[in-house]
Amino acid sequence: MELMNTNSPEQARKRIPSQIAIDGPAASGKSTIGERLAKQLGYLYFDTGIMYRAVTLAALRRLGGVGDETAVTDLANKVVIDVLPPTKADGREADVFLDGEDITWDIRTPEVDANVSPVSAYPGVRKAMTAQQRRIGLAGKVVMVGRDIGTVVMPDAELKLYIDASVEERARRRYLECVERGEQVSYPAILSSMQRRDQIDSTRAVAPLKPAEDAVIIQTDNLNEDEVFDRVMALIDPPGGPD
């Protein structure tokens, strides 16, 4: 499906994909690119990882752990997660609320990192989250970021990207992000937590992390943010391409 976008005269002349799916492993740079792309196109940016993180935080706080699949699934169906435009300029991509409480930074702790992959492997949790994400995707003019967006949530998206990098490079990027926020972290601990998360995310039975068959794979180890962005924009608006 190709929709004509009418945001600006410049864009109106071009066929801009209405649904853009971006997948990839932790800290591959997909959120940064997704956010920038959405801004450029005037689209909604939606980071689905936030929802899995919010359910994980709710389980840690209210159930004392994430091991009880039935209880966690029940919670996933009950909690109200709101993701709203950011109201503070402290590096946040959005304001995140769990049943009305601001949890924007609480979902970024090493404890949530360590528990989010087991939670998101529960089929009932995925079902609840996927249903909400599909509704958002169907409205169009959206850049959605996650692990299964091109394969499961928006399989008909006109543009699918898979942003990748080696685990060592991704751990280095996440380490620098944490240091910038003033957190006490160790590179080896981040690396091993990320390796564990990669392993669970890519081997789970439901919606494992993998590129969709028609995804464009971008390997970012040796590319900076601008270079990745330029590659993505070239796919949307190829130089000398179809007008």
Binding site for ligand CDP (CB under 6 A): 26-27, 48-49, 52-53, 116-117, 120, 146-148, 197, 201
Nearer to ligand CDP (CB atom), residue 27 or residue 72: 27
Give residue 192's region: left, alpha or beta (phi > 0; psi -120 to 50).
alpha
**Could you count the other beta carbons within 10 Å of the beta carbon of residue 58?**
22
- Closer residue to ligand CDP (CB): 18 or 164: 164
Of 43 and 108, the one with the shorter C-beta distance to ligand CDP is: 108
- Residues belonging to the chain: 243
The answer to whether the CB of 48 falls within 8 A of the CB of 126 is: no
Q: Minimal distance in Å, beta carbon 45 to ligand CDP?
A: 13
Kindly tell me which of 213 and 243 has the beta carbon lying closer to ligand CDP. 213
Shortest Å distance, C-beta 197 to ligand CDP: 5
Query: To the nearest whole angstrom, how small is the minimum distance from the Cβ of residue 144 to ligand CDP?
Result: 8
All residues at 6 or more sequence positions from 63 whose CB lies less than 8 Å from its CB, including other chains: 71, 72, 75
Shortest Å distance, C-beta 62 to ligand CDP:
19
Sequence-ordered alpha helix ranges (H) in the chain: 9-12, 30-41, 49-62, 69-78, 110-120, 123-138, 167-180, 187-203, 225-236
